[in-house]
Structure 1
Amino acid sequence: MKKHKWFAALAAMLMALTVAGCSNPSSGTGNSGVSIPKGFVKVKGGTVTGKSNTNNYAGVFIEGRTVTLSDFYMSKYEVTKAQYKAIMEDTSLNTLGITADPSFSTLKPTKYVMAAGEEDYERPVENVSWYDAVYFCNLLSKKEGLEPVYTINNTETKTVSYPSAGASGNETVSIKFISSATVTPDHTKNGYRLPTEAEWEYAARGGDPSKADWDYTFSGANTAAETSYDSKSNTGLDAVGWYWYNTCNGGTTTSTEMKEGTAGFGTHQKGLKAPNALGIYDMSGNVWEWCYDGPGVVSTGEETDPLGSSSGSKHILRGGAWSCIANYTSVCKRVSEAPSYRQNNIGFRLVRSAN
């Protein structure tokens, strides 16, 4: 009898382990057996031979350029308000006192009205500078005992005030952010970081140049029939992204444009749209995502794990946002802003090097 009980207990334990392993694939292992961070997917690198883009913007994989990328992990979702707040409220980490909840959806909730059925703190954090984003990466790395990727020196902060803010609309709320710093990356470290522009576009396209998804206009979806890639309105985007013509319309494109104070005006909860081929969400629309790179001209030739231009005083943003027309949410559209710039439609997602 005791032996039977022992076997039954062992069988139950093995079953429990099997079920647990299947219930959370995001924290499983890749082909190499290395653990994939929870909430991330492993993006297998490769070599991309650029080509002419006749139905889209050029992006970074241009004709005459060959880019080889190493494997990396990318977060399935944009960093949420909850994730950002949890780290920034830890004063042992956030010694600069950067505001833990800077988002306009919190500052001006009567204007940036959450859509019915969504969770506020599962919306992407926004109104963060590029400096804030790399600072967050370092803090999260330290929290988890990883090696920080960025060396951040000569840090300066700034505080700005927003009148007519808060839940009542009658408060003045101050936001502290990093306005200047010297940032040096070391991608050999195992901590969290921003994606390079090449990594971002590679993942947004689905990670496989041989598949049809690679040439889709949006991340995980193509243009609607009889619609040009540069159209302001595009129902092909409805399946995968939030943008100007669907953010206040339940996610379906209509001729009605978004309106301040209407439900859905602003960001939306992570992961409500379909993912792309890699299982990554919201790479077209919702919020612009900071990349590490500067915005220099994309050059031809061969490069391995390019960091982009180191000249200039701006950094790349990719993916478009809830406030953008459709063609700005293309997987190829490139824009840039100063690293101190913050806005109601700018956030970020995380990557980690996998090699």
Structure 2
Amino acid sequence: MEDLELAHIPAGSVTLHDARRKLHRTVDLEAFEIGVFAVTQEQYAELVGLDGLASEVRHPRRPVTDVSWLGAIRFCNAASEWEGLEPAYTYDGEDVTWHVDSDGYRLPTEAEWEYACRAGSKGAHYGPLAEVAWSSLDGVTHPQNVGGKHPNLNGLFDTLGNAWEWCWDLLDPARYDDYRVFRGGGYADDAWSVRASVRRGGGPRMHHEDVGLRVARGGFDAVGAAQGWSAEADLERAMQGEGVRPVGWTPRG
């Protein structure tokens, strides 16, 4: 399999916005690694196969899409096993546990993703949108080969545009139950959606034609909490009220 090229992201902090609850929180992050590129169709096919995907892989350098969150979890574990690393996840059906002390491949937390995407920038984009992201401005009808636009200052390509990317975190458990976050915007989205702060999500088994993944690595000396996420906080958020849960996914900002 083609190597999963990673970039080292130094320790720092990022401020996240919860639009529904009108809250901001600042997260301190330890250093970690994250993929320079989104996982490609070829990489996914070689480790996991094509079962569960809507169509055959025909474009090896395009980001793999139509991958469920559970499919992304399986890919991370398969990549760890391929390289002789301890898998980051154990799971029973849709009940997935992240062993945060593991240094195997995993999905980034939402805080890690936004911090890596921003690369020190404070605005909606880390550069002129047409230069850094495939979006509706380009008029394309499918994801493009990875690395075709300019990278951010962390050396990461396509964190904005081209394909949304799954993260580890729950979207909003009080309102959307088990929906997981995806970030970054896709090739057909307008500028409002292709921003560093925009949050969307879907159920663990849902497939979307413009949602893929980017891997991360980094183990931490903790249990049930790391890099802006904690199981305890998820439980607290789930108890904060009930709301109508949609059939699809809903933009968050």
TM range (shorter): 0.7 to 0.9
Q: Deviations over 1:140-196 (max 9, x none)?
A: 10111001011111x3xxxxxxxxxxxxxxxxxxxxxxxxx2101112101000000
1:38 deviation in Å?
A: 5.7
Decide which of 87, 91, 113 is 2:47's aligned counterpart. 87
- CA distance change for structure 1 residues 46 and 85 in 2, over 3 Å: closer, same or farther? same
1:251-296 Cα deviation digits (max 9, x unpaired): xxxxxxxxxxxxxx20000001000010000011101100000012
Q: CA RMSD in A?
A: 2.5
User: CA shift at 1:66, angstroms?
Assistant: 2.8
Which residue of the other structure, out of 124, 135, 140, is the alignment partner of 2:63? 124
Match of residue 134 from structure 1:
73
The equivalent position to 1:46 in structure 2, one of 9, 12, 17, is 12
User: What amino acid sits opposite 1:69 in the alignment?
Assistant: L
- Corresponding residue for residue 313 of structure 1: 178
The Cα shift of 1:123 comes to 0.2
Show the counterpart of 2:236. none
- What SS class does the counterpart of residue 79 from structure 2 fall into? helix
Extract unaligned runs of 5+ from structure 2.
221-253
Residues 337-352 of structure 1: pairs in structure 2 closer than 5 A: 337-352=202-217
SS, match of residue 13 in structure 2:
strand
1:3-42, aligned counterparts within 5 Å? 39-42=5-8
**Per the alignment, in what secondary structure is the counterpart of residue 322 of structure 1?**
coil
SS in 2 for 1:316: strand
Q: Distance in 1 between matches of 2:54 and 2:11?
A: 34
Residue equivalent to 1:205: 118
Q: State how 1:98-117 maps to structure 2 within 5 Å.
A: 99=51, 102=53, 104=55, 106=56
TM-score after normalising by structure 2: 0.78
| In 1, Cα distance between equivalents of 2:95 and 2:161 | 30
Partner residue of 1:243? 135
Query: Is 1:73–1:354's contact at 8 Å kept on the other side of the alignment?
Result: no
Question: Partners in 1 of 2:139 and 2:213 — Cα distance?
Answer: 19
1:73 to 2:33 alignment: yes
Amino acid of the structure 2 residue aligned with 1:147: E
Quote the Cα distance in structure 2 between the aligned partners of 1:325 and 1:64.
25
1:186 is matched with which residue: 74, 99, 124?
A: 99
Alpha-carbon separation, structure 1, partners of 2:138 and 2:36: 22
Deviation per residue, 1:231-266 (Å, 9 max, x gap): xxxxx3110011112043xxxxxxxxxxxxxxxx20
Distance 1:185 1:122, change over 3 A: same
Inter-partner Cα distance in structure 2 for 1:329 and 1:86: 30
What amino acid does structure 1 have at the position aligned with 2:163? V
User: What corresponds to 1:217 in structure 2?
Assistant: 124
Query: Identity of paired residues, percent?
Result: 33
Runs of 4+ with deviation above 2 angstroms: 62-66
1:9-51 per-position Cα deviation (integer Å, ceiling 9, x unaligned):
xxxxxxxxxxxxxxxxxxxxxxxxxxxx861100011234x49
Summarize the Cα distance change of 1:129–1:63 in structure 2 as closer, same or farther, 3 Å threshold. Answer: closer
Looking at structure 2, the residues matched to 283 and 187 of structure 1 have their Cα atoms a distance apart, in angstroms, of 23
| AA at the equivalent of 2:63 | P
Query: Given the alignment of the two structures, is residue 152 of structure 1 paired with residue 28 of structure 2, yes or no?
Result: no
Question: How many residue pairs end up in the alignment?
Answer: 216
Sort the Cα spacing of 1:71 and 1:85 in 2 relative to 1 into closer, same or farther, 3 A.
same
* Residues in 1 aligned to 2:159 and 2:60: alpha-carbon distance in whole angstroms: 19
CA distance in 2, matches of 1:77, 1:352: 14
Cα 1:38/1:334, change in 2 over 3 Å: closer
Structure 1 alignment gaps of length 5 or more: 1-36, 52-56, 90-97, 110-119, 156-180, 209-213, 222-235, 249-264, 298-308
**What is the TM-score with the length of structure 1 in the denominator?**
0.56
